[in-house]
Structure 1
Amino acid sequence: MNTLLIPAPDTIPAAWGWFQFFLLVTFPLHLLAMNAMLGGLVIGIGLQVTNKPLANALSHKIAIALPLVIAFAVNFGVAPLLFLQVLYGHFVYTSSILMGTFWLLVIPMLIIAYYGAYLYDFKYQALGKTKGILIGLVVLLLLLVIGYFFSNNMLMMSKPEVFENYFAHRGGSFLVSGEVEFMPRYLHMIIGALAIGGLSVAVLGRLSLGKDDAELSNFAQDLGLRVFSWITLLNVLAGIWYLLSIKRETMRIFMGGDLLATIAFCLALFLVVCVLFTGFTKRLYATVAGAITLLYLMSFMRAWVRSDYLGSVFSLDTLTVSTQWSPLIFFVITLVMGVGVIAWMFRAVARERATQNEW
């Protein structure tokens, strides 16, 4: 590998541990919203296809929630992307340039998907079954392609040995979808999104529908937990495929090569068994708690994989610190205020929806 193709890293304003901490805290929040968005949409379209009264009613409720969930997915994705750029900017900027033609398409595609989601929400009844399903499928396809591009970028930045492909793809058209890790990695994320989408539908049924329509609430909870449980079981196979696809030396850090990584891996396996049990036995809140914890553990393991992939050319310990505490302090203050505003917005929206009897 030609290390001259790797740019020099920028200085950082505080010790790298702070940024790694906030990256690991905020990224799973983005995953939760993104998974609820993607998985919920798939379930909503599937329910609309059945064209049964109860299924249509739940599909409409999912359509109403979709624009709000997309907004959370986008906003919760900003912070972890920024922290990733602070720590690994010289890798992620390079990979973004290599696939620049596709990377620049993300924003317009997201805007179109967002407008499509609002159309799917506000015109659900007027669109009817066929047009509604078509709009939903267009939004779903756009979101899947955006995820495809993100997966390419995140894998490419972890494999600087492919940077030399720039000379054969000077137009920014290089992708790593042919790499052995890509497909199992991408499928593991998408299947996981379907599972969390099911869990989100169950939560929607419990918290938003229970007071107004007990039958619809029970239907949503039962369907959501069944989808979560069976799809999670399927995702175990995708996870095994992904584990076997990564570099052998990287896989070994979860098999005793690194104590903390091995503990995280074992805890993740244990939690998978737990959420399958609570999911199949219809224990919603226990399943939600286990799934969120599992997402955090998976995010930690993802960070270990990235660090090990880059270990031969880069370590976070080598970053130069030029101390400037004010940006980090300002971020923390803004984060606390933002969380407060989001909590207030959630309550306000819930009250308004309840008043209008839309949930």
Structure 2
Amino acid sequence: MDPSALIPVSDTIPTEWGWFYFFLLLTFIMHLLLMNSMLGMGIMALVKHIKSGDKHCPVCKDISLKLPYTIAFTINFGVAPFLFLQVLYSQFIYTSSVLMGMYWLPVIALLLIFYYSAYIYDFKYDSLSRLKLLFLAVTVIFGLIIAFLFTNNMTLMLNPEKWTGYFENRSGTMLNLGDPTLIPRYLHFVLASIAVGGLATAIIWRFKKDPRATEYIREGLSWFSYATLVQVAVGVWFLISLPTDIMLLFMGGSALHTAIFLVALAGAGFSLFFGFKEMLWPTTAALLGTVVFMVLVRDLVRQAYLAPYFHPRDLEVVPQYSPLYFFIVFLVLGLAVVFYMLKLAFEAKREA
């Protein structure tokens, strides 16, 4: 059966596709940094709890205070890129979501458990004793499950030829487990979270007046460096697991694809160099640059997968510019309010 026959007709869009593409990448970068920080710090605290038992752990206590905020920001900043993805690739993401609907719909319930467990870990930290390990473990495990389901959906939408499996399985329980890129892609994300979580911890302790702050900064940078080192190896696995024609685009087959990939790779190299040298701000700058170019690589991979069927430039434009103007205005205002609230929170903490 021709897979293209299974692809629904795309919707019209109110303005040129480039605007949606730009905001998809911009908001996804913000979401990714928050999501990696949140999950990575949770994993870091979980490991430290397991190692130290019920002993006092200042880093864990600090992470407990940060988790509810980072989860809230992660979820809220995740809405926009998912909506832009639906605008540009609605016929693909809606179809894959339906095919795995029995797993996709419970994501909301998983998020609620994930969120409330983190809140209990925070607000009951001092009174939970050993039980705090249980609530943190629930948070981390549910976060990893949600990430795995998202990875399934994001890969299933790229493979319309696998949608024919619906005719053998109409129960909405399709997963993309046979895709050779699924596991390396998922592990690449998890390792990125551990790395960014370690760096976020180091940055947080950089602003604390604590006699052991330097020790925790080094510890955070150590988590970042070693996780990034393993992530590079998994990244190679991910690269060679791609279909040959797509992989070769990043290995000289396309000047654009290869150039962006090499810049991302160089950024990872600089991140490792500065991380092992315990240079906090150069490491942070290198990471931010790497994330930007890795997101571009990720999007080029998606475009390459869908090239036989579709490109966002094919979308019909029915001009209606006012929603775009409203979004830009409220995006700027929203970010200003968020930064102002964070500023007030930091000032209140200093006064306390």
Q: 1:247 aligns with which of 239, 243, 248?
A: 243
Residue 77 of structure 1 aligns with an amino acid whose one-letter code is G
5+ residue gaps, structure 1, are none
* Deviation at residue 257 of structure 1 after TM alignment: 1.9
SS in 1 for 2:186: helix
Rounded Cα–Cα distance in structure 2 between residues aligned with 1:299 and 1:152: 18
Q: Which residue in the other structure is 1:214 paired with?
A: 211
Contact 1:204 1:220 in 2 (8 A): no
> Superposition pairs for residues 263-282 of structure 1, below 5 Å?
263-282=259-278
- Cα distance 1:53–1:104, how it changes in 2: closer, same or farther (>3 A)? closer
* Deviation at residue 296 of structure 1 after TM alignment: 1.0
TM (norm. structure 2) is 0.97
Rounded Cα–Cα distance in structure 2 between residues aligned with 1:190 and 1:55: 27
Q: Which residue in the other structure is 2:229 paired with?
A: 233
Q: Which residue in the other structure is 1:203 paired with?
A: 203
* Deviation at residue 26 of structure 1 after TM alignment: 1.1
1:303 to 2:299 alignment: yes
Rounded Cα–Cα distance in structure 2 between residues aligned with 1:219 and 1:254: 40
Rounded Cα–Cα distance in structure 1 between residues aligned with 2:226 and 2:94: 38
Q: Which residue in the other structure is 1:96 paired with?
A: 97
Rounded Cα–Cα distance in structure 2 between residues aligned with 1:81 and 1:170: 25
Rounded Cα–Cα distance in structure 1 between residues aligned with 2:104 and 2:242: 24
TM (norm. structure 1) is 0.95
Rounded Cα–Cα distance in structure 1 between residues aligned with 2:332 and 2:228: 33
Q: Which residue in the other structure is 1:49 paired with?
A: 50
Rounded Cα–Cα distance in structure 2 between residues aligned with 1:355 and 1:124: 23
Residue 355 of structure 1 aligns with an amino acid whose one-letter code is E
Q: Which residue in the other structure is 1:134 paired with?
A: 134
Residue 40 of structure 1 aligns with an amino acid whose one-letter code is M
* Deviation at residue 52 of structure 1 after TM alignment: 7.9
Q: Which runs of 4+ in 1 moved over 3 A?
A: 52-55
1:114 to 2:115 alignment: yes
Residue 160 of structure 2 aligns with an amino acid whose one-letter code is P
Rounded Cα–Cα distance in structure 2 between residues aligned with 1:353 and 1:17: 42
> Superposition pairs for residues 341-356 of structure 1, below 5 Å?
341-356=337-352
Rounded Cα–Cα distance in structure 1 between residues aligned with 2:61 and 2:136: 12
Over residues 57-81 of structure 1, what are the superposed CA-to-partner deviations in whole Å (9 max), with x where a residue is unaligned? 1110011100000011111111110
- Cα distance 1:233–1:276, how it changes in 2: closer, same or farther (>3 A)? same
- Computed over aligned residues only, the root mean square deviation of the Cα atoms, in angstroms, reads 1.3
Residue 169 of structure 1 aligns with an amino acid whose one-letter code is N
Over residues 240-280 of structure 1, what are the superposed CA-to-partner deviations in whole Å (9 max), with x where a residue is unaligned? 00000001111111112222211111111111111111101
Q: Which residue in the other structure is 2:319 paired with?
A: 323
SS in 1 for 2:252: coil
Over residues 214-256 of structure 1, what are the superposed CA-to-partner deviations in whole Å (9 max), with x where a residue is unaligned? 31x2122111000100110011110000000001111111112
- Cα distance 1:59–1:112, how it changes in 2: closer, same or farther (>3 A)? same
Residue 226 of structure 2 aligns with an amino acid whose one-letter code is W
Q: 2:336 aligns with which of 325, 328, 340?
A: 340
Rounded Cα–Cα distance in structure 2 between residues aligned with 1:204 and 1:177: 38
* Deviation at residue 110 of structure 1 after TM alignment: 0.5
Residue 126 of structure 1 aligns with an amino acid whose one-letter code is S
Size of the aligned set, in residue pairs, is: 351
* Deviation at residue 162 of structure 1 after TM alignment: 1.1
Residue 179 of structure 2 aligns with an amino acid whose one-letter code is E
Rounded Cα–Cα distance in structure 1 between residues aligned with 2:88 and 2:305: 15
Rounded Cα–Cα distance in structure 1 between residues aligned with 2:324 and 2:55: 49
Contact 1:47 1:55 in 2 (8 A): no
Q: Which residue in the other structure is 2:167 paired with?
A: 167
Rounded Cα–Cα distance in structure 1 between residues aligned with 2:103 and 2:336: 35
Rounded Cα–Cα distance in structure 2 between residues aligned with 1:171 and 1:333: 43
Q: 1:290 aligns with which of 274, 286, 294?
A: 286
